[in-house]
């Protein structure tokens, strides 16, 4: 993709010069060397946390969901909060891999693989909660419409919870396919690097006989584009349907029409925060600072400002309409959120989600990995509280004051939630060991920006594209129309 | 060799559009004196249609600057020009404010309102009580203040970005690009808030006892799509002397086509979200707005809006070949503009004619009246200037844009 | 096509060179068997004269199939097989059927397209095909339906930066 005419003002995507061979070498290195001590420490921690989660879930399933803090009034709390939280985190992966691909944002190339993997792991964590909330998870297949000997008694297609089943399972399937599809060429690279033995055999099977044929590449690119085109509306639909779980009800604070776009924006917001958290750790631990550059981090913080702004706008609109509607229940719910017994949760949410992203307006903050890391954690906390506030504060004050109640999570619930982090990090750490976490092929295709004539420091005049012999003259009007049009001068001091 | 100089054509278009606009508005005024209420509803239709496009164009410029989009540079001047016509609407809003009592039932706390199409049905006690609750927002002085704020924001943002952009035509200073890119993200929150509340004010409060938090986004989505349509049509037709259309490549059209497709889907997504949530929840205070539209005489129009406004253009725009053919793309854009008009009619007219779709001749006159003036204003703004930002640092990149 | 054929392989070390060479040999009238590259090269489809893939049609067809299956399933279960009054909603709650219809559209379109791709490019787990040396790393290989003895093509390739030229039997 390097034969595109590029302005000399562009900043290169890969910050140090590398040959193609060096790129292969570097990206494959983490999976070929022995794991570092830090990796083992992290892995041990993750596995221990996972074990806690497994223990809690085992206890819960064998005892019954009475071990949770739910009651007659608050029938949904921690579990669904965590479900929405994890699904939301997954969305950034698809956004980076599909939507940024459609927008031809080339900076996505060094983070998309890891982000997609993150999507898969996050969706796995999310799916745990509704399944264990069923109480009898071995009957989970009852949610599928299959002919049965009860009549056939079918699932209720008018229920948003069933839409969720379809949405989440489709999302997981398509994300997995998209991710694996993107991996095939890189699996072949790994296959060709391995000398022999079991690893070679495994990668040989996994890489589907990839030869790097341009005829296949041509089809591959078409399919990749199609998958991106499918994944884009899919990711929007998933969180839209998650929001339908609440918004189709008649519960004040849940039933509001802005929920679909607002949930999607919130999901992207929290997901990007999670990608940042992971990427900042990964780039340091694996030494990928020149591939996952400050510029990548900065771009993601900008996405956070925008989505954070949309989320804030939605909070404001909801509050305004709650008053404007004149509906006493709506009004009460919103006043109760801000000043009731869960006000602490509400103000935590506002501080983390509405106030803190604005620190990213400062370039200093946007370019400091340490600051971004802290803020990304703050936003993750804020978005978790957003779901908690929506779910619990709306439920705990029922229409009937005699049913008013409070909710406190039990150790089992907290343990299960912590356990999902264990699962997430265990899978992610394994992923960094066994597969190339950066898309080798895609990074190579953008590495041209860092090579020779494409880097700003090397360019002598703006229209260098016309030098390369393969440039189609037909694609560009040449010579440039007027002297005025060619007036762009090379300036390296401008932060354009 | 293509030479681009300052644009001095288009005087015919400008005069014609201006004449049509004035004639349209005069006829609308005549309509007002014969039948004030339907005329005011028609005027609201024409006004919100064209204003939405203009404001959406301002938002578009701000978004593309924020996203640092480079391919669009060649089309940016047209968007800036579309946005610059917003000042005309600051004048055109005045009749709307003066005639507010004919369209907004909440004027004077709803006590004077008689439902159109009925013989003297007024708000009940309970309804009046609810309206009274809303009166801190729904009152005329505050409406005037809000309009002043909206127009101040729109005119300022449009003027600021466009002035910098045109200054660059002569100086070529790179600092101006930096300024535009710094200013745009900061302006977006204000643009988002104003368009949201403008949608509430002009369209949602026609049914003052009904509310939907997504409504502002809905108005924005439709207007944004319409603005892309106008941009496409303008580009296809800008083939004359000193016009930028000759420099536009199929890659640009391909992208415009994709944007039309994306925003057709986005509009449908927002519309469906709003409908489904209200339909499923079926709460009396909300369902009425849709009940009026999906049952009885308005039902056929609602269904055709779904089919003709979403399904037909969506499947048409999926075709890659179509997106590469400027003329065909322009045809689709015109079609979508008609659908946007139907959408606004569907939003506005049931408030006037709940018994079923009806036609009033001022719908046409106010549509062409407001539209004629807006187009004339945009042409007036375009004349004497370059039709593309000739010294933008990214213009050569944009001119040579190929599909990546 | 025969199961295997003899092609002339020429090795390059950069995207620019292999693109130039491909254009040049095609202009000179040689048939390009294939070009093996470590990553997708923009413009290679034009250089090789490849037609746009028809997989988009598979995707569209599968999407339509998914939507119709989903709608029929929902209609059959909710209206025909066991109509049940849930919350006073009509048996045929079309608006409520759209989310599932959408999901299955995407699911079918995605799975069928990838399946069609794998079939068309004969890729499957256990495939015996192997890549040429260093192609998945940093080498670009142009495979021509030409013979080693043809000095003209060798000169042409050398002029466009071929590092090495060899004759080889490949599966077609």
Instruction: Provide the 3-class DSSP secondary structure of residue C164.
Output: strand
Q: How far is C95 from chain B (nearest CA, A)?
A: 6
Q: C42 CB near a chain B CB, below 8 Å?
A: yes
Q: Where is B271: in which H helix or E strand?
A: helix B250-281
What per-residue confidence (pLDDT) applies to C125?
83
What per-residue confidence (pLDDT) applies to A104?
75
Could B397 and A260 be called an inter-chain contact, meaning their C-beta atoms sit closer than 8 Å? no
Q: How, if at all, do strands C4-12 and C32-36 pair?
A: unpaired
Please give the average per-residue pLDDT across A146-163, as a whole number.
Answer: 88
Nearest to A177 among C55, C77, C110 (CB): C110
Contact A120, A179 (CB under 8 A): yes
> Cα dist. B337→B299, B301, B327, C11 in Å?
21, 16, 15, 54
Q: Which residues of chain A from 77 to 116 reach within 8 Å of chain B, CB to CB?
A: 103-104, 106
Contact B77, B388 (CB under 8 A): yes
Q: Where is C34: in which H helix or E strand?
A: strand C32-36
Q: Where is A43: in which H helix or E strand?
A: helix A37-63
What per-residue confidence (pLDDT) applies to A11?
54
Q: C94 CB near a chain B CB, below 8 Å?
A: no
Instruction: Kindly tell me if the per-residue pLDDT of A106 is higher than 50.
Output: yes
With contacts defined as CB-CB under 8 Å, which chain C residues touch B282? 88
Quick one: how far is CA B165 from the chain centroid?
A: 23
What per-residue confidence (pLDDT) applies to B337?
94
DSSP A98: I
Whether the bond between C107 and the residue before it is cis, its omega within 30 degrees of 0, is no
ipTM: 0.91
Q: C1 CB near a chain A CB, below 8 Å?
A: no
Q: Quick one: what percent of chain A has pLDDT higher than 90?
A: 31
Could A163 and C100 be called an inter-chain contact, meaning their C-beta atoms sit closer than 8 Å? yes
Instruction: Kindly tell me if the per-residue pLDDT of B324 is higher than 70.
Output: yes
pLDDT higher at C75 or C31: C75
Give the tokens for residue B305: 């809006």
Quick one: how far is CA B132 from the chain centroid?
A: 31
With contacts defined as CB-CB under 8 Å, which chain A residues touch B196? 313, 317
For residue B54, give the nearest of B88, B30, B22, B99 by alpha carbon.
B88
Could A1 and B181 be called an inter-chain contact, meaning their C-beta atoms sit closer than 8 Å? no
Among the ranges given (A336-340, A480-484, C71-75), the one the predictor scored with the smallest mean pLDDT:
A480-484
Residue B312: Cβ within 10 Å count = 17
The residue of C57, C60, C85, C95 whose CB has the most chain B CBs within 10 angstroms, and thus the best one to mutate to test that interface, is C95
Q: For residues B344 and C95, what is the distance between their CA atoms, to the nearest angstrom?
A: 22
Q: For residues B35 and B360, what is the distance between their CA atoms, to the nearest angstrom?
A: 10
State the pLDDT confidence band at B49, using cuts at 50, 70 and 90.
very high
Please give the average per-residue pLDDT across A225-229, as a whole number.
Answer: 89
Half-sphere exposure of A480 (CA within 13 A, CB side): 20
With contacts defined as CB-CB under 8 Å, which chain B residues touch A487? 172, 390-391
Q: Which residues touch B203 (CB under 8 Å, ≥6 apart)?
A: B48, B215, B219, B347, B348
Instruction: Kindly tell me if the per-residue pLDDT of A270 is higher than 50.
Output: yes
The CA-based diameter of chain C, rounded to the nearest angstrom, is: 82
Could B174 and A484 be called an inter-chain contact, meaning their C-beta atoms sit closer than 8 Å? no
Q: End-to-end CA distance of chain C: give it in Å, rounded.
A: 7
Instruction: Kindly tell me if the per-residue pLDDT of A470 is higher than 50.
Output: no
What per-residue confidence (pLDDT) applies to A494?
36
How confident is the model over B234-277, as pLDDT tens digits?
Answer: 999 888 777 787 888 888 888 899 999 999 999 999 999 999 99
What per-residue confidence (pLDDT) applies to B404?
62
Q: What is the mean pLDDT of chain A?
A: 82
Put the strands of the sheet holding C32-36 in their side by side order: C32-36, C140-144, C4-12, C164-171
CATH classification of the domain holding C143: 3.30.70.120
How confident is the model over B341-352, as pLDDT tens digits?
Answer: 999 999 999 999
State the pLDDT confidence band at A16, using cuts at 50, 70 and 90.
low
Could B280 and C89 be called an inter-chain contact, meaning their C-beta atoms sit closer than 8 Å? yes
State the pLDDT confidence band at A454, using cuts at 50, 70 and 90.
very low
Q: How far is B301 from chain A (nearest CA, A)?
A: 22
Domain ranges (residues) in chain A: 20-141+156-493
For residue A482, give the nearest of B240, B72, B169, B167 by alpha carbon.
B169
Please give the average per-residue pLDDT across A118-133, as a whole number.
Answer: 92
Among the ranges given (A98-107, A415-424, B77-86, B113-122), the one the predictor scored with the smallest mean pLDDT:
A98-107
How confident is the model over C82-116, as pLDDT tens digits?
Answer: 888 888 889 998 999 999 999 999 999 999 999 99
Please give the average per-residue pLDDT across B125-129, as a whole number.
Answer: 89
For residue A79, give the nearest of A494, A409, A430 by alpha carbon.
A409
How confident is the model over C7-16, as pLDDT tens digits?
Answer: 888 888 888 8
Please count the helices (runs of H) and the strands (runs of E) in chain B: 17, 0
Could B318 and C98 be called an inter-chain contact, meaning their C-beta atoms sit closer than 8 Å? no
What per-residue confidence (pLDDT) applies to B61?
92
How confident is the model over B144-188, as pLDDT tens digits?
Answer: 999 999 999 999 999 999 999 888 888 888 888 888 888 998 899
State the pLDDT confidence band at B52, using cuts at 50, 70 and 90.
very high
Among the ranges given (A383-387, A484-488, B138-142), the one the predictor scored with the smallest mean pLDDT:
A484-488
What per-residue confidence (pLDDT) applies to A455?
33
Give the tokens for residue B288: 């009425």
Nearest to A211 among C36, C81, C106 (CB): C36
Q: How far is B31 from chain A (nearest CA, A)?
A: 34
Q: For residues A20 and A23, what is the distance between their CA atoms, to the nearest angstrom?
A: 5
Quick one: how far is CA B78 from the chain centroid?
A: 15
Whether the bond between B311 and the residue before it is cis, its omega within 30 degrees of 0, is no
pLDDT higher at C164 or A146: A146
Q: How far is A162 from chain C (nearest CA, A)?
A: 8
For residue B310, give the nearest of B221, B209, B404 by alpha carbon.
B221
Q: What is the mean pLDDT of chain C?
A: 84
**Residues paired with C7 in a beta bridge:** C168
In a domain, C73, yes or no: yes
The residue of B272, B275, B323 whose CB has the most chain C CBs within 10 angstroms, and thus the best one to mutate to test that interface, is B272
> Cα dist. A458→A8, A96, A199, B335, B401 in Å?
9, 30, 42, 49, 22
Helix axes C94-120, A160-193, angle to 10 degrees: 10
Q: How far is A443 from chain B (nearest CA, A)?
A: 15
Please give the average per-residue pLDDT across A135-140, as a whole number.
Answer: 89
Q: Quick one: what percent of chain A has pLDDT higher than 70?
A: 87
Q: Which residues of chain C from 6 to 45 reach within 8 Å of chain A, CB to CB?
A: 15-16, 19-20, 23, 34-45
What per-residue confidence (pLDDT) applies to A125?
93
State the pLDDT confidence band at B381, using cuts at 50, 70 and 90.
confident
The residue of C16, C25, C27, C38 whose CB has the most chain A CBs within 10 angstroms, and thus the best one to mutate to test that interface, is C38
> Counting beta carbons within 10 angstroms of the beta carbon of residue A50, is it exposed (0 to 12), middle (13 to 18) or buried (19 or more)?
buried
Residues C108 and C161 in one domain: no
State the pLDDT confidence band at C149, using cuts at 50, 70 and 90.
confident
Q: A400 CB near a chain B CB, below 8 Å?
A: no
Q: Where are the beta strands (DSSP E) in B120-161?
A: none
Contacts 24+ apart (CB under 8 A), C160-163: C160/C12, C160/C17, C160/C20, C160/C21, C160/C24, C161/C12, C161/C13, C161/C14, C161/C17, C161/C20, C161/C21, C162/C10, C162/C11, C162/C12, C162/C17, C162/C21, C163/C10, C163/C11, C163/C12, C163/C13
Could C98 and B272 be called an inter-chain contact, meaning their C-beta atoms sit closer than 8 Å? yes
> Counting beta carbons within 10 angstroms of the beta carbon of residue C127, is it exposed (0 to 12), middle (13 to 18) or buried (19 or more)?
middle
Nearest to C95 among B279, B318, B404 (CB): B279
For residue C150, give its domain range.
Answer: 4-38+135-171
Task: Classify domain A20-141+156-493 by CATH number.
Answer: 1.20.1630.10
How confident is the model over B59-87, as pLDDT tens digits?
Answer: 999 999 888 888 888 888 889 999 999 99
Helix axes B140-171, B86-98, angle to 10 degrees: 170
For residue C98, give the nearest of A102, A248, A229, A151 by alpha carbon.
A248
How confident is the model over B297-306, as pLDDT tens digits?
Answer: 999 999 999 9
Instruction: Kindly tell me if the per-residue pLDDT of A4 is higher than 50.
Output: no
Q: C86 CB near a chain B CB, below 8 Å?
A: no
What per-residue confidence (pLDDT) applies to A3?
39
Buried b (16+ CB within 10 A) or exposed e, B244-257: bbebbbebbbbbbb
Please give the average per-residue pLDDT across A415-441, as a whole number.
Answer: 89
> Cα dist. B344→B199, B263, B330, B363 in Å?
11, 16, 21, 11
For chain A, percent helix, then strand, then coil, each to nearest 5?
Answer: 70, 0, 30
In a domain, C164, yes or no: yes
Query: Which chains are within 8 Å of A by 3+ CB pairs?
Result: B, C
For residue A296, give the nearest of A140, A453, A487, A100 by alpha carbon.
A100
Among the ranges given (B198-207, B209-218, C163-172), the one the predictor scored with the smallest mean pLDDT:
C163-172
Quick one: how far is CA B219 from the chain centroid?
A: 8
Instruction: Kindly tell me if the per-residue pLDDT of C166 is higher than 90.
Output: no
In a domain, C65, yes or no: yes
Q: C96 CB near a chain B CB, below 8 Å?
A: yes
Could B285 and A325 be called an inter-chain contact, meaning their C-beta atoms sit closer than 8 Å? yes
- Give me the torsion for CA of B170, B174, B179, B184, rounded to 10°: 90
How confident is the model over A31-69, as pLDDT tens digits?
Answer: 777 888 888 888 999 999 999 999 999 999 999 888 998
Nearest to B280 among C56, C60, C96 (CB): C96
For residue B224, give the nearest of B266, B183, B252, B184 by alpha carbon.
B266
Q: For residues C159 and A61, what is the distance between their CA atoms, to the nearest angstrom?
A: 72
With contacts defined as CB-CB under 8 Å, which chain B residues touch C52? 320
Instruction: Provide the 3-class DSSP secondary structure of residue B67.
Output: coil
Q: What is the CA radius of gyration of chain A?
A: 25
Contact A322, A333 (CB under 8 A): yes
Could C78 and A4 be called an inter-chain contact, meaning their C-beta atoms sit closer than 8 Å? no
Instruction: Kindly tell me if the per-residue pLDDT of A107 is higher than 80.
Output: no
What per-residue confidence (pLDDT) applies to B201?
92
Q: For residues A179 and A74, what is the distance between their CA atoms, to the nearest angstrom?
A: 38
Residue of A nearest to B138 (CA): A324
């Amino acid at each position: 993709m390097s034969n595109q005419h590029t302005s000399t003002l562009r900043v290169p995507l890969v910050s140090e010069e590398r040959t193609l061979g060096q790129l292969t070498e570097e990206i494959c290195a983490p999976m070929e060397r022995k794991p570092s001590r830090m990796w083992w420490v992290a892995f041990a921690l993750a596995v221990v946390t996972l074990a806690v989660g497994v223990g809690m879930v085992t206890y819960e399933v064998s005892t019954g969901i009475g071990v949770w803090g739910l009651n007659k009034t608050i029938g949904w709390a921690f579990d669904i909060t965590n479900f929405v939280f994890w699904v939301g985190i997954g969305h950034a992966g698809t956004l980076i891999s599909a939507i940024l691909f459609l927008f031809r944002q080339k900076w996505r190339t060094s983070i998309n693989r890891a982000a997609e993997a993150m999507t898969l792991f996050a969706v796995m964590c999310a799916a745990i909660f509704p399944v264990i909330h069923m109480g009898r998870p071995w009957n989970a297949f009852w949610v599928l419409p299959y002919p049965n000997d009860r009549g056939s008694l079918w699932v209720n297609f008018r229920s948003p919870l069933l839409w969720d089943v379809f949405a989440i399972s489709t999302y997981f399937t398509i994300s997995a396919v998209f991710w694996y599809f993107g991996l095939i060429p890189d699996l072949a690279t790994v296959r060709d690097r391995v000398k022999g033995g079991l690893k070679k055999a495994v990668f040989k099977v996994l890489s589907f006989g990839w030869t790097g044929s341009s005829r296949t590449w041509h089809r591959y690119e078409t399919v990749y584009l199609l998958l991106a085109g499918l994944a884009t509306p899919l990711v929007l639909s998933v969180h839209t349907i998650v929001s339908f779980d609440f918004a189709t009800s008649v519960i004040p604070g849940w039933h509001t029409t802005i929920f679909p776009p607002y949930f999607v924006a919130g999901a992207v917001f929290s997901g990007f925060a999670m990608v940042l958290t992971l990427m900042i750790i990964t780039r340091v631990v694996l030494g990928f600072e020149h591939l996952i550059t400050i510029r990548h981090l900065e771009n993601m913080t900008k996405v956070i400002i925008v989505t954070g702004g949309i989320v804030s706008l939605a909070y404001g609109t909801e509050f305004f309409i709650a008053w404007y509607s004149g509906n006493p229940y709506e009004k009460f719910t919103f006043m109760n959120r801000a000043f009731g017994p869960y006000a602490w949760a509400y103000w935590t949410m506002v501080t983390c989600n509405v106030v803190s992203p604005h620190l990213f307006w400062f370039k200093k903050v946007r370019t400091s990995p340490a600051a971004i890391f802290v803020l990304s954690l703050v936003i993750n906390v804020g978005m978790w509280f957003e779901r908690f506030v929506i779910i619990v504060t709306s439920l705990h004050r029922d229409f009937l004051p005699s049913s008013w109640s409070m909710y406190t999570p039990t150790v089992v619930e907290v343990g299960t939630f912590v356990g999902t982090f264990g699962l997430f990090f265990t899978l992610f750490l394994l992923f960094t060991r066994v597969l190339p976490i950066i898309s080798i092929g895609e990074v190579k295709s953008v590495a041209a920006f860092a090579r020779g004539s494409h880097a700003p420091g090397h360019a002598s005049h703006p229209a260098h594209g016309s030098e390369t012999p393969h440039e189609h003259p037909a694609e560009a009007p040449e010579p440039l129309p007027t002297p005025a049009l060619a007036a762009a001068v090379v300036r390296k001091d401008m932060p354009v | 060799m293509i030479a681009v100089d300052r644009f001095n054509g288009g005087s015919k278009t400008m005069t014609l559009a201006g004449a049509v606009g004035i004639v349209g508005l005069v006829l609308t005024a005549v309509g007002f004196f014969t039948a004030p209420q339907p005329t005011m509803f028609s005027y609201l239709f024409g006004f919100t249609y064209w204003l939405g496009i203009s404001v959406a164009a301002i938002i578009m410029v701000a978004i593309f600057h924020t996203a640092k989009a480079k391919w669009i540079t060649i089309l940016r001047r047209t968007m800036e020009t579309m946005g610059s016509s917003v000042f005309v609407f600051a004048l055109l809003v005045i009749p709307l404010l003066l005639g507010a009592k004919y369209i907004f039932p909440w004027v004077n706390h709803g006590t004077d309102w008689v439902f159109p199409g009925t013989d003297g049905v007024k708000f009940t006690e309970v309804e009046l009580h609810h309206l009274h609750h809303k009166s801190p927002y729904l009152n005329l002085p505050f409406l005037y203040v809000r309009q002043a704020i909206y127009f101040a924001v729109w005119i300022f943002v449009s003027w600021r970005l466009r002035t910098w952009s045109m200054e660059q035509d002569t100086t070529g200073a790179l600092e101006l690009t930096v300024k535009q890119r710094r200013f745009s993200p900061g302006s977006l929150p204000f643009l988002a808030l104003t368009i949201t509340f403008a949608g509430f004010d002009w369209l949602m409060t026609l049914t003052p006892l009904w509310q939907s938090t997504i409504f502002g986004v809905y108005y924005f989505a439709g207007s944004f799509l319409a603005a892309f349509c106008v941009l496409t049509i303008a580009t296809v037709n800008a083939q004359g002397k000193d016009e930028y259309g000759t420099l536009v490549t199929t890659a640009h059209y391909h992208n415009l086509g994709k944007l039309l497709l994306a925003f057709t889907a986005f509009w449908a997504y927002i519309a469906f979200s709003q409908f489904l949530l209200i339909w499923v929840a079926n709460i009396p205070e909300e369902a009425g707005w849709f009940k009026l539209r999906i049952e009885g005489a308005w039902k056929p129009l609602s269904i055709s809006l779904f089919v003709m406004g979403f399904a037909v253009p969506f499947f048409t725009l999926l075709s890659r070949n179509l997106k590469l053919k400027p003329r065909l793309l322009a045809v689709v854009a015109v079609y979508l503009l008609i659908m946007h008009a139907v959408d606004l009619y569907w939003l506005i007219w049931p408030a006037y004619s709940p018994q079923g779709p009806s036609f009033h001749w001022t719908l046409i006159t106010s549509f062409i009246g407001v539209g004629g003036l807006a187009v004339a204003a945009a042409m007036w703004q375009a004349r004497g200037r370059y039709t593309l930002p000739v010294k933008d640092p990214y213009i050569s990149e944009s001119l040579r844009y190929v599909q990546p | 096509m025969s199961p295997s054929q003899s092609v002339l392989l020429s090795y390059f070390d950069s995207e620019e060179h292999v693109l130039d060479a491909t254009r040049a040999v095609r202009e000179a009238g040689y048939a390009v068997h294939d070009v093996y590259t470590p990553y997708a090269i923009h413009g290679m489809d034009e250089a090789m004269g490849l037609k746009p893939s028809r997989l988009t049609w598979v995707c569209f067809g599968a999407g339509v199939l998914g939507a119709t299956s989903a709608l029929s399933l929902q209609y059959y279960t909710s209206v025909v097989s066991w109509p049940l009054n849930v919350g006073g909603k009509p048996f045929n709650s079309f608006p409520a059927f759209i989310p599932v219809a959408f999901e299955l559209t995407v699911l079918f379109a995605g799975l069928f397209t990838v399946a069609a791709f794998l079939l068309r490019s004969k890729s499957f787990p256990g495939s015996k095909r192997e890549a040429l040396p260093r192609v998945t790393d940093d080498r670009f290989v142009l495979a021509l339906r030409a013979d080693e003895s043809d000095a003209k093509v060798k000169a042409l390739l050398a002029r466009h930066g071929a590092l090495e030229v060899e004759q080889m039997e490949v599966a077609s």
